[in-house]
Amino acid sequence: MTQLTPVLTRNWDRPDSFTLAGYGDYSAARKALSMDPDTIIQMVKDSGLRGRGGAGFPTGMKWGFIPQNDGKPHYLVVNADESEPGTCKDIPLMMANPHALIEGAIITSYAIRANHAFIYVRGEVLHVIRRLQAAVREAYEAGYLGRNIFGSGYDLELVVHCGAGAYICGEETALLDSLEGRRGQPRLKPPFPAVAGLYACPTVINNVESVATVPSIVANGPEWFASMGTEKSKGFGIFSLSGHVARPGQYEAPLGITLRELLEMAGGIRAGHRLKFWTPGGSSTPIFTEEHLDVPLDFESVAANGSMLGTRAIQIFDETTCVVRAVLRWTEFYAHESCGKCTPCREGTYWLKQVLYRLEKGQGTEEDLATITDIADNILGRSFCALGDGATSSIHSSVKLFRDEYLKHFEIGGCPFDPAASTVWGVK
Per-residue pLDDT of the chain (428 residues; tens, 9 = 90+): 468 999 999 999 999 999 999 999 999 999 999 999 999 999 999 999 999 998 899 999 999 999 988 999 999 999 999 999 999 999 999 999 999 999 999 999 999 999 999 999 999 999 999 999 999 999 999 999 999 999 999 999 999 999 988 999 999 999 999 999 999 999 999 999 999 999 999 999 999 999 999 999 999 999 999 999 999 999 999 999 999 999 999 999 999 999 999 999 999 999 999 999 999 999 999 999 999 999 999 999 999 999 999 999 999 999 999 999 999 999 999 999 999 999 999 999 999 999 999 999 999 899 999 999 999 999 999 999 999 999 999 999 999 999 999 999 989 999 999 876 544 444 44
What is the biggest distance separating any 2 CA atoms in the chain, rounded to whole angstroms?
Answer: 73
- 350's enclosing H/E stretch is helix 343-360
Q: Taking a C-beta distance cutoff of 8 angstroms, is the pair 31, 47 a contact?
A: no
Strand partners for 116: 75, 157
CATH for 367: 1.20.1440.230
Q: Taking a C-beta distance cutoff of 8 angstroms, is the pair 69, 108 a contact?
A: no
Nearest to 363 by CA among 409, 422, 419: 409
Choose one of 292, 318, 344: the last residue of a domain.
Answer: 318
Which residues in 394-403 are b (16+ Cβ under 10 Å) and which e? bbbbbbebbe
200 domain-assigned: yes
The runs of H, that is alpha helices, within 33-125 are: 37-47, 59-64, 90-96, 98-111
Choose one of 190, 206, 227: the last residue of a domain.
Answer: 227
155 domain-assigned: yes
- What's the whole-model pTM score? 0.94
Choose one of 269, 289, 318: the last residue of a domain.
Answer: 318
The runs of H, that is alpha helices, within 119-275 are: 126-141, 172-179, 193-196, 208-220, 222-226, 259-265
Domain residues for the domain of 365 are 323-422
